[in-house]
Amino acid sequence: MRTAIRLARTELSRTLYLLGTVATLGCSSKQPVVTGSAAAVASGEKQEERRFVDSVLAGMTLEEKVGQLNQLSGLGQPTGPGGAPAGFEQIRRGDVGSFLNVVGRDTVMRLQRIAVEQSRTHIPLLFALDVIHGFRTIFPVPLAEASSWNPAAAERSARTAAAEAAVQGISWTFAPMVDVARDPRWGRIVEGSGEDPYLGAVMAAARVRGFQGSSLRDPTTIAGTVKHFAAYGAAEGGRDYNIADVPERTLRDVYLPPFQGAVCAGVETLMAAFNEIDGVPAHAHKRLLTDILRGEWRFDGVVVSDWTGIAELLNHGVGADSGSVGRLAMNAGVDIDMVSEIYRKKVPSLVRAGSVAPQTLDEAVRRMLRLKYRLGLFQNPYRVGSAAQAQALAVALPAANRAAAREVARESIVLLKNDRNVLPLSKNLRTLAVIGALAADSGAAIGNWSALGRGEDAVSVVTGIRRAVSPRTRVVYERGAAPMNDSTTGIAAAVRLAKRADAIVLVIGESPSQSAEAESRASIDFPGAQLRLAQAIVATGKPVVVVLMNGRPLALQWLHDKVPAIVETWFLGVEHGTATADVLFGDYNPGGKLTATFPRVTGQVPIYYNHRNTGRPPTNDKYTSKYNDVPWTPLYPFGHGLSYTSFRYGTPRLSATMMRPGDSIRVEVDVTNAGRVAGDEVVQLYVRDDVGSVTRPVQELRGFRRVRLTPGETRTIGFAIDIQDLAFHDAGMARVAEPGSFAVLVGGSSADTKQLRFRMETADGRSVRVPATCEAMR
């Protein structure tokens, strides 16, 4: 076996090629453009890859094959129950193929040396970590980053994170998370892009491009993982790990598109979800993992379980023992068993008994070996940076990376309200009070899933403000109240401070630990005594600006009614305080837009913009679909976000009012900066199908573009609408476009648009099939 591996490596070196694995799903003026994928690599390169992998597979024993599918947790913070660290002897025996939570260049090299030099097969290990929104340099949490509506920003942050992680020997991240989330009670909404499938698909592709680059042979890239497949964000009641009761049409039209966007962008791995769908747990869902993913979408990468996801099939009640659930997962299409070790212990006997076909096992192993091959691990198992690089990164953050983090953070801030132009604040106030425990919490700034990020590297809000104001301004601080407890003991001191100030910046929201995995909330009101703090500060009569730090939409009705200015900053990473101060004092004009709807009260959720109508849509009539105690409309709709300038939209124009299935129609609108300062506007395109064979959403996002306009500047923004934008799944679950009338809506939010109409006609007046392949959507 050693000779075979050495010969294969020598031959591989002679080929001198880079294996292209990543597509682009980019946002041009309108539609994502898909080009290529791992499945479209040149045939000669694919043949060489297949020959190499098969030669390695042929020399492996049954137990060694299963070992490649066993992933163990080493050092690091567990993300679930179970999962004991592995021992060196398991590596020597070939009982483990990959690790998660093993971090550090020297540790990775030490373990890799055991695998490559002391195991019989000499197959290198693969090291993985949850690199979600940064490795050492922490960028905004994904929900914040999506609020930039800038795929290039998402790609840049992922590219930076990948390069930093690769220095320490990490070759695989469990990101991006692309679960569409319509219920903000669910704590993991912070990890995704919000409620829209189109925006989710664009951002998913951008992050895949960032992590994986143009070639995984580039030592600064890492393999991405799109997760959690599927409908994990549809957990009933917003309760994490709960079931998802999702009809197939909703599954395909809402929850699957971001996953397909990532697959079309060339993502190398996919993670199964904890939840069930219609009675079938995702880890045992052959139709999802094999028929749709590998059959319809032609995904050729690795499927990894979530933490003990295979073992948890026992709790789901679909298997009586670990052997039966191991059989279900393996036959469904789960390749890698994360930490439960059911595959290692049970699959050899299942294969010998005929419960798992040998070719099923071989295909799973091939996929794992193929991933290692594509990463170049057979050619260079010690895929780490230099000792000097690792040491430098451990000591300080690169200046260029901090600058990138600041830029992305500024773009991610959303100005929710700004009555009477309270913002921007003057830098020359006599006394500015900053109040709230979160204002001084640099650890909170980096959010959850912060990898090797450190709170001490981050700039808190109060520090950012102190650095931004003039030397004549006195900045004073009081803690007031915190999100993690109900103590009111600090409110009186905060009020005394506020009364002596000329203006107040009140920083309230959530701790990162309150908006995270396993952190669902029955109420999305302010936790702790923060609302009482806000009420006391507002009662002083002094000018108040509220800065929010949170990982989900919150119920803000009281604040909206009482406070003139509200700034949503989320958790922005290491440059949180700097970016926030940039916006507060007008050094940067905010241009972010919401990607998740903000309700008025918790009782409105789930609430989302692209809902379907009912037979009794809300009106003033009593017997229509609404509430009797609050308006049915959201407080802040999807796509909402203000600016320090104003934008004027002209009347949209269509290149034609009728299209055929093979045609496209161009939509153009003139957007003018009608204010006195330069600013960014996110121009949004929505489409509505007026009449369908099944009920259709009231509107669906089909394009967007973030543009910067100087004062007085007018720019014509164009989008193209084609048959893909009109497609949905009909009563027979065929993906079709139906002839008829369509509305086009263009504007600055889902609730502020101008519309016009066109018709789509077919030769026979019938619907047309619309393929959902990557090539068809190119």
Note if the bond before 230 is cis, omega within 30 degrees.
Answer: yes
Cα 390 to Cα 166: distance, rounded to the nearest angstrom: 10
The 8-class DSSP code of residue 133 comes to S
Cα 24 to Cα 592: distance, rounded to the nearest angstrom: 24
**Given 306, 335, 582, 725, the catalytic residue:** 306
The 8-class DSSP code of residue 217 comes to T
Cα 687 to Cα 694: distance, rounded to the nearest angstrom: 16
Cα 437 to Cα 451: distance, rounded to the nearest angstrom: 24
306 flagged as catalytic: yes
Q: What is the 3-state secondary structure (H, E, C) of 625-686?
A: CCCCCCCCCCCECCCCCECCCCEEECCCEECCCEECCCCEEEEEEEEEECCCCCEEEEEEEE
Q: Is 237 exposed, middle or buried (0-12, 13-18, 19+ CB in 10 A)?
A: middle
The three-state secondary structure class of 294 is: helix
Q: What is the dihedral of CA 67, 376, 215, 226, to 10 degrees?
A: 10
Task: Report which of 725, 730, 740 is spatially closest to residue 776, judged by C-alpha positions.
Answer: 725
Instruction: Write the DSSP assignment of 507-544 as a string of letters.
Output: EEE--GGGSSTT---S--SPPTTHHHHHHHHHTT-S-E
Residue 409 tokens read as 């953070």
Task: Report which of 564, 567, 565, 591 is spatially closest to residue 580, judged by C-alpha positions.
Answer: 567
Cα 223 to Cα 217: distance, rounded to the nearest angstrom: 10
The set of residues, in sequence order, having a beta carbon less than 8 Å from that of 536 and lying 6+ positions away, is: 491, 494, 495
| Phi, psi of 33, rounded to the nearest 5 degrees | -110, 120
Cα 772 to Cα 226: distance, rounded to the nearest angstrom: 18
Cα 606 to Cα 371: distance, rounded to the nearest angstrom: 39
Cα 402 to Cα 457: distance, rounded to the nearest angstrom: 10
Cβ proximity of 344 and 337 under 8 Å: yes
Task: Report which of 128, 123, 100 is spatially closest to residue 222, judged by C-alpha positions.
Answer: 128
Cα 777 to Cα 263: distance, rounded to the nearest angstrom: 12
Note if the bond before 197 is cis, omega within 30 degrees.
Answer: no
Cα 26 to Cα 22: distance, rounded to the nearest angstrom: 12
Task: Report which of 456, 445, 500, 459 is spatially closest to residue 477, judged by C-alpha positions.
Answer: 500
Q: What is the dihedral of CA 559, 565, 570, 575, to 10 degrees?
A: -150
CA end-to-end distance (rounded Å), the chain: 43
Note if the bond before 560 is cis, omega within 30 degrees.
Answer: no
Q: What is the dihedral of CA 229, 686, 145, 570, to 10 degrees?
A: -100
Q: Is 664 exposed, middle or buried (0-12, 13-18, 19+ CB in 10 A)?
A: middle
Residue 140 tokens read as 């905004």
Cα 452 to Cα 748: distance, rounded to the nearest angstrom: 37
Parallel, antiparallel or unpaired: strands 664-673 and 653-654: antiparallel
Cα 222 to Cα 395: distance, rounded to the nearest angstrom: 22
Q: What is the dihedral of CA 305, 309, 310, 312, to 10 degrees?
A: -170
Catalytic residue numbers read 306
